[in-house]
Amino acid sequence: MRKLSIRDLKLAEKRVFMRVDFNVPISNGKIRDDMRILQTLETLRFGLERGARLVLASHLGRPKGKPNPEFSLRPVAELLSDLLGRPVKFVNDCVGPEAESASLALKPGEVLLLENVRFHPEEEKNGEEFGKQLAKLCDGLYVNDAFGTAHRAHASVVAITKFVDQAAAGLLMERELKFLGDALERPVRPFVAVLGGAKISDKIEVVENLMKVADSMLIGGAMAYTFLKAKGMPVGASRVEEDKVELAGRLLDEARKRKFRLFLPVDHAVAPSLEQAAQMRVVEMDATPVGWVGLDIGPKTVAIFSDEIARARTVVWNGPMGVFEVEPFSWGTIAVARSLAAVTSTGVTSIVGGGDSMAALRKSGLVDRITHVSTGGGASLEFLAGRQLPGVIALTDKAGH
């Protein structure tokens, strides 16, 4: 970690502005999935145990820059009170007199949650004046524990850091940077990358970057069909990004020239359409029926992928192998999740990123059997693509870095 950590800050009695990721699904005032809240509790408790006065800020949904009760963080304050075992104060804005007086009134070990920062259009514009107003709520100390928003140059992520004395990573952010950074910079080899999901266009840079650092790559999901079409394989009516076929072909050529181990599905589960799942059958890739859609990897592919994962000492997985939300097409994704869990139990480092991959892990009940589950879908993708994240760049460098 070249950046300051919350561990490096003198927190006692100080008002600390902490950017967290409480962007959780809420319906009728009830939180449907509290995983993101649970994942930042360690950082919150670390600050509270050291006598900090915590001012928490987050976005929720896309309220389009104006107040909208549907996107209020108030239900989060109620749940957080229960989880922390102490009252969490809440204010109806994130800047202005009410927020400022509430932050000044905090005592050591107390918590204030601000209303949704995206109720102000300046948040997404990275407005400097707005960042300055947010910074008034703390005593020069800023902590970012929201890895999921680190790829966005927004005011509560970047602009605010210009108006504080020290900007540090929270424990969750620190862990994300360590696991993802180690995988890219100093992986224990063999390093296997597993990529899936719908579109190659979302992951081109990830494929290109990981081909430089991984020892092998397994590609499933709908994005595999663009590569398979580039190879001249019959893909039926499977989803193909026609404008990316040439690029996929170039990547395959490069892999061949470099003798890079790149694996594509050899069989798959197909149906006339997603709605006609009952007619599903498994066929070899070269026997794909005309007009049928590939919706999951098949058992031969799972066996090949599992063998390759079994050779690994580091595995990074991003994106499902099929339409895992719809039965019976979750089989391939869950089989890959089981392979990851199995090697993790032998000491392999497994890292899973992306919302769909996390959802598949939860569905398979294997979250606790993976070394590190990344909280940031877009952020982890950009990191794996080798890009600098604005929210990380904005943090204060440690002395000597």
- pLDDT on residue 55: 98
Question: Coil, strand, or helix at residue 37?
Answer: helix
Question: Is residue 189 within 8 Å of residue 215, measured between CB atoms?
Answer: yes
With CA atoms as reference, report the closest residue to 12 among 141, 103, 173, 114: 141
User: Tens digit of pLDDT per residue, the chain (401 long)?
Assistant: 689 999 999 999 999 999 999 999 998 889 998 888 999 999 999 999 999 999 999 999 999 999 999 999 999 999 999 999 999 999 999 999 999 999 999 999 999 999 999 999 999 999 999 999 999 999 999 999 999 899 999 999 999 999 999 999 999 999 999 988 888 889 999 999 999 988 777 788 889 889 999 999 999 999 999 999 999 999 999 999 999 999 999 999 999 999 999 999 999 999 999 999 899 999 999 999 999 999 999 999 999 999 999 999 999 999 999 999 898 999 999 999 999 999 999 999 999 987 788 888 888 889 899 999 887 777 888 888 888 899 999 999 998 65
Token reading at 145: 């524990």
CA dist 119 and 73 (Å) reads 11
397: in domain: no
247: in domain: yes
For the question of residue 199 being annotated catalytic, the response is: yes
With CA atoms as reference, report the closest residue to 252 among 296, 282, 217: 217
Same domain, residue pair 272 and 154: no
216: in domain: yes
Distances (CA, A) of 148 to 36, 42, 205: 9, 16, 19
393: in domain: no
Single-letter amino acid, residue 289: P
In DSSP notation, 46-68 reads HHHHTT-EEEEE---S--TTS--
Token reading at 143: 């902590």
Which of 140, 173, 206 is the last residue in one of the domains?
173
153: in domain: yes
What are the strands of the beta sheet with 191-195, ordered from one edge? 261-263, 216-219, 191-195, 314-318, 349-353, 372-373
167: in domain: yes
Same domain, residue pair 359 and 239: yes
Which one of 61, 355, 386, 387 is the catalytic residue?
355
With CA atoms as reference, report the closest residue to 305 among 274, 333, 346, 276: 333
Which of 124, 150, 173 is the last residue in one of the domains?
173
Count of domains in the chain? 2
Q: What is the CATH number of the domain that holds 349?
A: 3.40.50.1260
Single-letter amino acid, residue 206: V
With CA atoms as reference, report the closest residue to 353 among 384, 331, 312, 313: 384
Token reading at 264: 């594509």
Same domain, residue pair 168 and 227: no
Question: Is residue 255 within 8 Å of residue 301, measured between CB atoms?
Answer: no
CA dist 213 and 219 (Å) reads 16
CA dist 17 and 59 (Å) reads 14
Same domain, residue pair 102 and 220: no
What's the length of the chain? 401
* Residue numbers of the domain that contains 125: 6-173
With CA atoms as reference, report the closest residue to 126 among 174, 73, 162: 162
For the question of residue 378 being annotated catalytic, the response is: yes
Which one of 45, 125, 136, 199 is the catalytic residue?
199
Question: Coil, strand, or helix at residue 208?
Answer: helix
- pLDDT on residue 399: 82
Same domain, residue pair 379 and 286: yes
Single-letter amino acid, residue 299: P
Same domain, residue pair 354 and 223: yes
Same domain, residue pair 229 and 302: yes
Same domain, residue pair 215 and 162: no
Same domain, residue pair 168 and 219: no
301: in domain: yes
pTM score over 0.85: yes
Same domain, residue pair 147 and 199: no
Same domain, residue pair 140 and 229: no
401: in domain: no
Which one of 36, 53, 118, 229 is the catalytic residue?
36
Token reading at 236: 């039926």
Collect all residues with Cβ–Cβ distance below 8 Å to 121 and sequence separation of at least 6: 65, 66
Count of other CB atoms within 10 angstroms of residue 276? 11
Question: Is residue 191 within 8 Å of residue 209, measured between CB atoms?
Answer: no
Same domain, residue pair 168 and 191: no
Which one of 136, 378, 386, 387 is the catalytic residue?
378
